[in-house]
Structures are given as structure tokens and as C-alpha cells.
Amino acid sequence: MAESAIRDYATGRGFHRQTLERWLAWEAADQESLQEIAVSLKISENHLRDMLDWLEEISLRDVTKIHEILCRPAVLSIKTDPRLGRADKLKRIKEQLRRWRFPRLAAVEERIQLKIQALKLPAEIRLSVPPGLEGGRLRVEFSAGSVAELEELTKRLNAAATTTWTTEIFDLLSGQTTEKVQGQS
């Protein structure tokens, strides 16, 4: 039942043969659980490939079935949340799967975000870190509409640079505190 529906879905969206074969190599219950999400959220091939990767790898690492992962309460609550549109549901389900697939990376990223928020910088200053934290650098962007505003923003940045929050952000980026995160996860 699921197999023909999956074939139809993949063909209709022009999926690559390897993607389809990989999906169909799963057990029937696993195939079906992903098919239900794929159809309802109209998942494109690139997103689906990410999900195939992460689900297979979580399943292998945690010795669990893929359909069991997709039936966890965290996924179900996103799927059934009436406030969320299709794109938001897909985004959140992928974020959740990524958190399960990369628990320590996600924990470090979340800790960095918390510290960035704690700096309480104005909206004109944006701090961000690279995807996957690769490169280990903090990106700082800001824009000003006048000399006075620029002076004010640089003052705020200077003040932020000397806080322990900022020191801890760089510690996290350079693996100084990965051990602590590992201990907590």
C-alpha cells in the first residue's frame, strides 16, 4: 500500500531514483510513517534526503525503529498543531530531528544562543555563529543611520565584548566547554 503511494509521490515530484530506492529499502512501517509526513507537508527531495539521513542514523545509533522516532510526542505535537502552517511544521520537525541526530552540537548551539540573548544587544546589532559551528568565529553585523547611532552601537558592542557571556561564547566555539555540555546531555 505504502510502496505504491511512495512511488507515486516520488515520481510526481521528480525524485532521483536513488532517493526512492533508499526510502523503499526501509521496513514497511518505517516507509509509511515518513510517507504520511511527506505527503501532508509536501516535502521536497532535498528536505527528504536530510530526513532519510538523520532518521537512519538515529535509528542505527539508538537501536530504534524509524516509525517509533516519528511517533515520539515531540513530532506528533508539531504534526497536529493547528497554529502551524505546512512550512513551519516541516521546519520544526526537521529541527527536532536534527536535535536528536546531533544532540551535543544542538546543546552547544542552544547555549550560545542563550548567551547571545543574555547580552541584550539592540536589534541593530546581530550576532551569529556559523552552521555546525564550523570555523569557530562569531559573526557581528550592525547597521547605523547616523554618527550618533553608530557611536552608541559601538559603545554597546564594546561593553558586550568585556562580559563573561561573550567570553563563554568563545569558549563554547573553541571546545573549551564541550566537556561540560557532554556532562549535561
Give the span between the Cα atoms of 93 and 76, in whole angstroms: 9
Q: Compose the 34-73 pattern: x for residues touching another protein by CB under 8 A, - for all others.
A: ----------------------xxx-xx------------
Candidates 37-45, 139-147, 150-158, 166-174: pick the segment binding another protein (CB under 8 A). 166-174
Candidates 65-73, 77-85, 113-121, 135-143: pick the segment binding another protein (CB under 8 A). 135-143
Give the span between the Cα atoms of 23 and 52, in whole angstroms: 7
Q: Compose the 5-34 pattern: x for residues touching another protein by CB under 8 A, - for all others.
A: ------------------------------
Q: Which of 20, 105, 118, 150 binds another protein (CB under 8 A)?
A: 105
**How many Cβ atoms are within 10 Å of 87's Cβ, its own excluded?**
10
Q: Do 100 and 58 contact (CB within 8 A), yes or no? A: yes
Give the span between the Cα atoms of 149 and 55, in whole angstroms: 48
Nearer to another protein, 41 or 48 (CB): 48
Q: How many residues bind another protein (CB under 8 A)?
A: 24
Nearer to another protein, 82 or 131 (CB): 131
Instruction: Count the alpha carbons within 13 Å of 65 in the hemisphere toward its beta carbon.
Output: 12
Strands (E), the chain: 125-128, 139-142
